[in-house]
Amino acid sequence: MAVQTDTATEFLVKKDDLRTCEFRTAPVPAQADLADGEVLAKVDTFAFTANNITYAVFGEQMAYWNFFPAVEGWGRIPVWGFADVVASKHEGVKVGERLYGYWPLSTHLVLQPARVTAAGFVDGTEHRKALHPVYNNYLRTAADPGYDVGCEAQQSLLRPLFMTGFLIADMIADADYYGAKQVLFSSASSKTALCAAFCLHELCGAGCDVIGLTSAGNRKFVEALGCYDKTVTYDEIASLPIEQGGVYIDMSGNGDVRAAVHSHFADNLKFSLMVGASHWENGGEMVPLPGAQPTFFFAPDQIKKREADWGADALQQRLGGAWARLIGPAREWITVAASSGEKSIEHVYRETLEGRVLPSQGNILSF
């Protein structure tokens, strides 16, 4: 039996009661405990945003809990960030390599690298083979052209959200805005909405108005971003012109807002896309609504389409170019707040869960 020299910690939440959470510890696998072909990564820093709450809210529905299984009834919320290889029994992955990717909210993760290239690898662990590879891909920072050691925080906070935003914008533009002249984003101050609105402006130019729906408290912040043609508070939805039609991108998951948009536009609501759940407790029942019926957005589906249309390399080139154009203004959008330790992690989790994090704040955490 190998001697354990370290302790792993994981943050767990109750799947049926997201306010119930706790930390648990376990021994860290030693080098000798790894199977041939496995590596052990130690999670260093990671972002925590409303996007991670969406992972928890839709954990069962969208299989987010399946990436990092936990004890019965509990879940490990996925996060995006950086980790270092601290033990390896894979000849192609060396101790000391720094990786960017999708991690559990835990200190350690055992990976089984497959399809290893100079750029990175996918985790070939058996239970992840049926899950979409976009979440199984790990980038080697030494070979990642999008990596900047001085922008790790921005990469953790925005890169996965940016990819989602880019794909949303691409899907809408590719469909010629579904015949509408207005695209409405609820929770317009959310980071995914900002990325999508930024990309949509690049794609549609003056062809369609990009409108941010937000609370009165966040209105000034949203207006100052320059991502939206118009900012409208939730109680002003009825002021939007119906004759121009609308596409609704639901970042909040708020059933009342969803109903207000659908009722106002009725048959002139040409498309309704459910993306996020920042207002997770106000989801309401999924009942038939006027206009286009809401559909869930699943980023891997759009990736698959565009890889077929353009090729995987061309898609990555387009993503990389748009990311490079975004990173400049993104530094002005977000003030990075870095903290570490269990108390900080639980505090940020609860503040995010309750919607109390300022939209201008980007939380970077570590154990």
**What pLDDT digit, counting tens, does each position of 259-286 carry?**
999 999 999 999 999 886 544 445 455 5
pLDDT attached to residue 3: 38
Tokens of 285: 């029942």
Q: Measure the CA–CA gap between 56 and 277, rounded to whole angstroms.
A: 9
Q: Measure the CA–CA gap between 287 and 338, rounded to whole angstroms.
A: 41
SS3 192: helix
C-alpha neighbours within 13 Å on the C-beta side of residue 82 = 23
Neighbours of 108 (CB within 10 A): 22
Quick check: 163 and 196 in contact, CB under 8 A? Answer: no
Instruction: Provide Rg for the chain, Cα atoms.
Output: 21
Beta bridge partners of 138: 121
pLDDT attached to residue 222: 92
pLDDT attached to residue 283: 46
Which DSSP category does 67 fall into? S
Tokens of 128: 């992840």
Those residues of the chain that have pLDDT short of 50 are 1-4, 278-281, 283
Quick check: 185 and 213 in contact, CB under 8 A? Answer: yes
Render 106-172 in DSSP notation, one character per residue: BSEEEE-EES--SSEEEE--GGGTTS-GGGTEEEEGGG-TT--GGGHHHHHHHHHHHHHHHHHHHHH
Q: Measure the CA–CA gap between 181 and 160, rounded to whole angstroms.
A: 28
pLDDT attached to residue 1: 32
Q: pTM here?
A: 0.78
Neighbours of 216 (CB within 10 A): 10
Q: Measure the CA–CA gap between 299 and 248, rounded to whole angstroms.
A: 17
What are the chain's domains? 7-145+334-366 (3.90.180.10), 160-301 (3.40.50.720)
Quick check: 236 and 175 in contact, CB under 8 A? Answer: no
Q: How far is CA 3 from CA 7, 32, 269, in A?
A: 12, 9, 62
pLDDT attached to residue 286: 59
Q: Measure the CA–CA gap between 118 and 121, rounded to whole angstroms.
A: 8
pLDDT attached to residue 163: 87
Q: Measure the CA–CA gap between 184 and 118, rounded to whole angstroms.
A: 41
* Spatial CA neighbour of 348 closest among 335, 360, 362: 362
pLDDT attached to residue 148: 83
pLDDT attached to residue 20: 98
pLDDT attached to residue 323: 82
Q: How far is CA 286 from CA 246, 258, 289, 295, in A?
A: 20, 10, 9, 11
Rounded-to-5 percentages of helix, strand, coil across the chain: 40, 30, 30
pLDDT attached to residue 144: 83
